Amino acid sequence: MEGFTQRLYVSSDAAPAPAVEQRIRDRLVRDPAAERRALVAGLLSTPASIAPKYFYDARGSALFAAICRLPEYYPTRTEAAIFERYRDDIAGAAGIGKVFVDLGAGDCAKAARWLPFLKPWRYLGVDIAPEALAPGLARLASAHPRIDVRGVLTDFSNGLDLFRDLGGGAATFFYPGSSIGNFNPVEALRFLQTLRRHCRGAASGLLIGVDTKKDATRLADAYDDAAGVTGEFNRNALAHVNRILGTDFDPDAFAHVAFYNERDSRVEMHLEARTRQAIVVDGITRTFAAGERIHTENSYKYAPDEFAAMLERAGFRNVRCWRDAAGDFGVYYGEGA
Ligand code: AVJ
């Protein structure tokens, strides 16, 4: 318990939520100058880029939640259906009574369904943003008074160090939603190796959901929906960047572009200037020609045998895979032996 900062998060709802003291350890390396430098460097490069973490301000997080409910965006509901259908089998593989580490916990909703099955003694929600995590932890703690509910704020896009948060014994790492797709395959392998190093023996392991390669049209549609929600989500990164850098991007001057790059097995998202745009970035005028693109996201896709091999390469053993009937999405469990 020592070392966990006691913080009071106040809900923004009109009716005050019960004051809840959260055990959240703040491990965010706050170096706004370095973050700004990286963002500026991406914008001044050719081709320009913005890291996907800039999607997720408050509006972007709400838009992402809306994406997860879109008819075209199959990953969230397909993963949920696999979890429902194979819950007992997966829980049997992972085992009960461990530490449950929820990577990218958000509001802890996905993990909540697992707690009755995995019966962890400790829940550790790990996320970059306290806004959803704090109330999520509060809900879990009141629903599960016997679980030691904790949180860690960290940005694990640059590595992970949870050794001080795991307590003794085994842990089940939970990394759903194909979030690993934002890493390129080299970074993904490195991240899996890092998770493997966090495991203590075969009783520890990783439960991870990963989108599969499939028909290019279906993949493109999942990232370019008819209602235009993903386009708003993509453009919102510019509004977020404006707030951080004081730039003057007009999000509506950029078109949403999404397609499956078959050669690299990834969906790419870009923002394409509809007309010539001259933007002052850190005192330098960056001109975007009409048709020029800013690369905002890669979402890598893996065939099940490829991803299982990657888990084994990272040191996981007895890798199992559960899929939906159409093979649209894969859920994997590997032992951290
Ligand atoms: C959160 C990275 C898993 O790649 O499918 C959804 C993000 N971007 N629609 C994905 C996303 C556009 C999502 N991940």
pLDDT one-digit tens code per residue, 257-284: 999 999 999 999 999 999 999 999 999 9
What lies within 8 Å, CB to CB, of 298 at 6+ separation is: 181, 182, 184, 264, 266, 267, 268
**Can you tell me the distance from the alpha carbon of 210 to that of 39, in angstroms, rounded to the nearest whole number?**
28
pLDDT confidence of residue 293: 98
Give residue-wise pLDDT tens across range 60-104.
989 999 999 999 999 999 999 999 999 999 999 999 999 999 999
**CA 52 to ligand 1 center in whole angstroms:** 9
Of ligand 1's atoms, which has the minimum distance to the CA of residue 75? Answer: 5
Residues with CB under 6 A from ligand 1: 67, 75, 177-179, 181-182, 223, 230, 297, 299
Query: What residue ranges define each of the domains in the chain, with the CATH number in brackets?
Result: 21-29+68-214+301-336 (3.40.50.150)
Q: Collect all residues with Cβ–Cβ distance below 8 Å to 172 and sequence separation of at least 6.
A: 94, 95, 98, 99, 100, 101, 118, 120, 204, 205, 206, 207
In percent, how much of the chain has pLDDT > 70? 93
Q: Distance from the CA of 78 to the center of ligand 1, in angstroms?
A: 14
pTM score, two decimals? 0.92
pLDDT tens digits, residue range 15-65? 444 434 458 999 887 888 999 999 999 999 999 999 999 999 889 989 999
